[in-house]
Amino acid sequence: MAAEAHSTATLRLSVGDLKVIHPVTVPSAPVTAASVIPALQKLVNAVVDAAEAKLGQAGQAVSCRKGCGACCRQLVPVSRTEAERLLEVIEAMPPVRRAALAARFAAAEAVLEGAGLAMVTREARGDRSDRELSIGYFALGIPCPFLEEESCSIHPERPLVCREYLVTSAAELCAGPRQEGVTPVPVPKVSMAARGLQDEREDWFPLAMLMAWSRTRLHDDAKRTGGVKRTGPEWVQRFLKRMGGR
């Protein structure tokens, strides 16, 4: 079988007050949007690295460490495209691990149902602000289903927004109910460009509702098949256009 052809381009971006030069490699052929998530992960990493380097120049340092999992109880918004990639990651896991994850997702979903926060659509959120939803979610203390021993068990595949959340304040402050005293690193939220990447009408839903969202795909042929296919460069261009629009 012939090897899959790829296209590489070097991006030179101004993201906020950061200058980022980063090579992006994606499949040349038409693929689903989820197929370019690895390239977008690396692009977000490059933006975060630039922000961290700037922080270092100012004499500051990130205080996040492995095993410090307070932030893994926050509401993590994921896009449809990221969700499809995560479902692929889960599907590739051994059966025993998949079963353990399914149980954790079910437990999280039950708590969110009881709190009125089990939402997979924009309509389900109603007129509640993102801040209100985030505070209410964090108060529930639900660990991310991927959290194991206070560390991310899928760290290389973690959502884009998780990569953008870093702090310089003391780790213990992150567990406070309203995150008082927490000082986030000013990282441009490039991850938001993934929302609506396939369809402008799409938005986001909490990562803990991934399995509930996946069940909606059973009745949606477009979602079940991964939606329309485009070449890798076309997906990246759409992502960059959404970055510029934000």
Q: Mean pLDDT for each 10-residue chunk of the chain (246 residues)?
A: 83 94 97 97 97 94 89 95 97 97 98 95 90 94 96 96 95 86 94 94 94 84 71 97 78
In this predicted structure, what is the pLDDT of residue 245? 55
Say what the pLDDT of residue 114 is. 96
Q: Length of the chain, please?
A: 246
What per-residue confidence (pLDDT) applies to 32?
95
Res 93: pLDDT: 98
* pLDDT at res. 201: 86
Q: SS3 for the chain, per residue?
A: CCCCCEEEEEEEEEECCEEEEEEEEEECCEECHHHHHHHHHHHHHHHHHHHHHHHHHCCCCCCCCCCCCHHHHCCCEECHHHHHHHHHHHHCCCHHHHHHHHHHHHHHHHHHHHHCCCCCCHHHHCCCCHHHHHHHHHHCCCCCCCEECCEECCHHHCCHHHHHCCECCCHHHHHCCCCCCCCECCCCCHHHHHCCCCCCCCCCEEHHHHHHHHHHHHHCHHHHCCCCCEEHHHHHHHHHHHHHHC
Query: What pTM was computed for the model?
Result: 0.92
